[in-house]
Structure 1
Amino acid sequence: MIALATRIDSGGPYTDETITPVIAGAIVRDGDGRLAVRMTRELAALRAETPALWYIAEDDAGRRVGFGQVPVEYAAFSGVLRQLAYGHVRDRFAPHVMSAVIRREPSPAGPLTIMGHGKLTELSFTVLLASSVGALPVALLMVLVSFIATPLIVRRSLAGVAQIAREAERIGAGSRAARLSEEHVPVEIAPLVRAVNDALGRLDEGYERQRRFIASAAHELRTPIAILRVKVDAAPEPATRRLGIDIERLANLAEQMLDLQRLDSAWHEQAFDLALLVRRVAADLAPLVIAADRSIEVVVDHAQQVSGDASAIERVLTNLVQNAIDHGGRSVTIRVQGTAVEVEDNGPGIPPDERERVFEPFHRLRPRSTGSGLGLHLVQHVVQRHGGHVSISDARGGGTVARVEFPPVRPALRDTP
């Protein structure tokens, strides 16, 4: 627009309009009512700045006063200047002495029409200056909107997205029924949230069908396994009775599958004494340890209460001790340290590259006639369900240390019987 306006204008420079208020302020009336010019500070400065200054002032009665070398071409304006209110006269050739401005101005002598020539101004500069001054507030407003208002608006409009992101972070294996809320999300994102909720629903249905199948299969296996155990134990042939080891392995596998299923369906959380639970597990397993010609020891450094399902944690400790008996050395030590339990043996140990894989289902270090490969997987599943952590490391004198760490008991459950 500036370039277009500059190109359309072809009249050359014109006189700055700011001279007419200065001239009007210096014109007064003498004792006879005629117009006279008194030298003011502003007019003196204007005359010093513009040596070619000239002007004509005329009141409504036709009385005139002037200054400087008024071009003879403007003599015809005498007596008619008072009929004009505003205008610009611009000549085409340098030094542009005929360029003049006409303005109606108030003065100490009353309303006057002033025609004058002063400092010249190019149109392009004036248009550029006017457009810059006009655009500056707009630019500042855009900066404020861009750096202040826009982030606030975006943050407010996407507050629902941040909320569903926090909800999504809380969805896990223990909260499969949870869904993302659709109330406060933008309309454009609502279809995505509904699609995610539908996908979560389908995953829950598939997980539930799989869980029911595993539980049903494990439960149905218990009866034929029990019948086989009775028949094998009563068989007269030694070779048949040796099948009892394999049947025991099947029974243990079925029970561990049921343990995994019970974690989701029969969860009972309470606060209990961890040291007392460890001593009970050691006492229950003592006959098995003695029969295997092993020793077991319980060391309590300092004990704290733990919150969770006591029966599930008891199965964790039982699996760890049985694993130490089957794969460890001659002695097993259970050490209680606050809310952590260590099961240490003096066996051959577990290679570092296998210490994460042993928690995978059905993974075994070496082919054995016993063991299902689900024990440590069950341990990890239960510990993670309690918000804890299980790790395996080397023992000081050789062997393996399985360490289980539980979070501190929540205040709401503290001292619960």
Structure 2
Amino acid sequence: MKPERARSLQWLLVRRLILLQAGMLLFFIVLLIVVLSVVKPRLMIDNEAAVTAVTGAVDRDKDGKLIVHDTDELTQFRAEHPKVWYIIHDTTGQTARVGMAPPDYDRDLGSLLSSVDHASIGFAGKRDGKEMRPEAFVQKVDTKAGPVQVVTSTFHSRSDSEGFDISITAIVDMARKPDGTADWPRVLPGLLASLGIVLLPIILAMGVTTLVTTPAVVRRSLTGLIGTANQAAHIDFDTRAMQLPVKNVPQEVVPLVNAFNQALSRLAQGIDSHNRFLTDAAHELRTPIAILRTRAELLTDEPETLRLRQDIERLSHLAQQLLDHQSLDRPNEHRRVVDLAEFAGRVAADLAPLAIEAGYDFAFEPPDGKVEVEVNALQIEQLLANIVRNAIEHGGGKGTITVLVDRAGGLEVHDEGPGIPVEEHKNVFEPFYRVHPHSHGAGLGLNLARQIAQLHGGSIAILNGPWQGARVRVHLPLHRQTA
């Protein structure tokens, strides 16, 4: 069964942000349409506002002549737009003027403009090498003097403007029924298509922007979390007491990191409690073992007594190995630089009587010169002793056991026994694993040796070759000055 693929946080955020932005845009557009349909505001530019300002000021005198009063609204507007001008025509042909109108507008505008409700007048072409006529607005309005047509502009000339003007014109017309109401079945498809043309580029722009920026933002936001995850990847049995930092972790992930740290603390406490129990148990075993050894020494030398002494010795060795194993869990201190050749020769001399008593010849092969390594001497002594004891136990009781040191920091133990099958070379380093289940060993010697080698930054392996017997090689890093 194919494992389920984890979801990407950054692409999940990208998709949801795009959908959210598109939804919010559509919501605001619909809301704007609803508000406009209810409020029905009138948006005016300056020229249209000028018409509104003058509408309330148009009147007739007692003789029926068109006049323009100086109302407060008109006075305020003219104060804001001092160049504004008006030309007002009524249906009888009378005209009233306010301000200085350009000559081209102060004339008959023709029957077409006289009949329209509203229009903008603009000139794009040049006249006499330049075009200075401003844009004007024409609109029919109802006043106190009756219906009139107002022609107006807030500028007398284009030179009066501030140099940069923006004019936005939006004209919306729709099909209508004979009674004047909108013909929605015909209008709606075109309206939706127009909205799509307007909204699609905006949504695409927002989507592309989100697609480009969100991954970078997410990666930047998760930098602290990635660093914490890298630290978590380096936690192992020897560093289980380490706590992950939460300083740069996103706030939403802090509870998870805290829970992980609490789990590490509980795990470390449980392992420490377990190790203390094993250490105390091994210590407690040493006393009854010593009593048994003393009592066995008082027995007569008979075959059963010899086997009993061997079993007691095996039990004593197992208790010592358990204590040695538990001591490795403590901080690695008391390291010093030693000459591996001299040190291994001294330990080999202490172990030689055990090998000779078991029926082996014993040899030590030192290198030429010193081989300096920085080690915990007690632990390296335990390592070599366990490998030699393993050779004595499984070497067949004959041949030569050789301890060898080379200039590369190698420490080897050779025997001439039946050897270790190739397929078992890795298994023999596991705790309590024995190639022959009925052998006398406990299966902890090589495992303890591997842990000591790894604590010193070294390695241990079973060598392959045409020789008879087993060859175990330990490699220790040379001291920097020696290297």
Cα distance between partner residues in 2 of 1:61 and 1:126: 41
Partner amino acid, structure 2, of 1:300: P
Deviation at 1:259, TM superposition (A): 0.4
Equivalence for 1:271: 337
Equivalence for 1:110: 133
Cα distance between partner residues in 2 of 1:296 and 1:367: 29
Equivalence for 1:204: 268
Equivalence for 1:285: 351
Deviation at 1:211, TM superposition (A): 0.6
| Percent identity between the two aligned chains | 38
The answer to whether residue 185 in structure 2 is matched with residue 185 in structure 1 is: no
Cα distance between partner residues in 2 of 1:317 and 1:206: 31
Q: TM-score, normalised by structure 2?
A: 0.59
Asked if the contact 2:118–2:137 (Cα under 8 Å) also holds between the matched residues in 1, the reply is: no
Cα distance between partner residues in 2 of 1:160 and 1:277: 48
Cα distance between partner residues in 1 of 2:353 and 2:108: 134
- The more displaced of 399-408 and 125-134 is 125-134
Unaligned runs of 5+ in 2: 1-25, 31-102, 139-173, 175-188
Higher relative contact order (CA 8 A, sep 6+): 1
Asked if the contact 1:383–1:406 (Cα under 8 Å) also holds between the matched residues in 2, the reply is: yes
State the Cα deviation string for residues 316-352 of structure 1 (Å, max 9, x = none).
1111122122222512233334123222222211112
State the Cα deviation string for residues 257-292 of structure 1 (Å, max 9, x = none).
110122223632333332222222222212223323
Deviation at 1:126, TM superposition (A): 13
Matches within 5 A, 1:307-318: 307-318=374-385
The answer to whether residue 178 in structure 2 is matched with residue 160 in structure 1 is: no
State the Cα deviation string for residues 190-211 of structure 1 (Å, max 9, x = none).
1211221121122112111111
Asked if the contact 1:294–1:325 (Cα under 8 Å) also holds between the matched residues in 2, the reply is: no
Deviation at 1:178, TM superposition (A): 0.8
The answer to whether residue 234 in structure 2 is matched with residue 170 in structure 1 is: yes
Unaligned runs of 5+ in 1: 5-57, 65-74, 87-102, 116-122
Equivalence for 2:299: 235
Q: Give the secondary-structure state (helix, strand or coil) at the position aligned to 1:272.
A: strand
Q: Give the secondary-structure state (helix, strand or coil) at the position aligned to 1:196.
A: helix
Cα distance between partner residues in 1 of 2:113 and 2:224: 77
State the Cα deviation string for residues 95-138 of structure 1 (Å, max 9, x = none).
xxxxxxxx4236536246699xxxxxxx9999989986886577
Equivalence for 2:106: 61
Asked if the contact 2:279–2:323 (Cα under 8 Å) also holds between the matched residues in 1, the reply is: yes
Deviation at 1:237, TM superposition (A): 5.6
Query: Structure 1 residues 341, 266: CA separation in 2 closer, same or farther (over 3 Å shift)?
Result: same
Matches within 5 A, 1:93-104: 103-104=121-122
Partner amino acid, structure 2, of 1:322: R
Cα distance between partner residues in 2 of 1:197 and 1:266: 21
Deviation at 1:60, TM superposition (A): 0.7
The answer to whether residue 425 in structure 2 is matched with residue 355 in structure 1 is: yes
Asked if the contact 1:105–1:114 (Cα under 8 Å) also holds between the matched residues in 2, the reply is: no
Equivalence for 1:248: 313
Count of residues in correspondence between the two structures? 323
Q: TM-score, normalised by structure 1?
A: 0.67
Matches within 5 A, 1:5-404: 59-62=104-107, 76-77=111-112, 84-86=118-120, 103-105=121-123, 108=131, 110-111=133-134, 139-140=204-205, 142-147=207-212, 149-236=213-300, 238=302, 239-265=304-330, 267-268=332-333, 269-291=335-357, 292-300=359-367, 304-328=371-395, 330-337=399-406, 338-368=408-438, 370-404=440-474
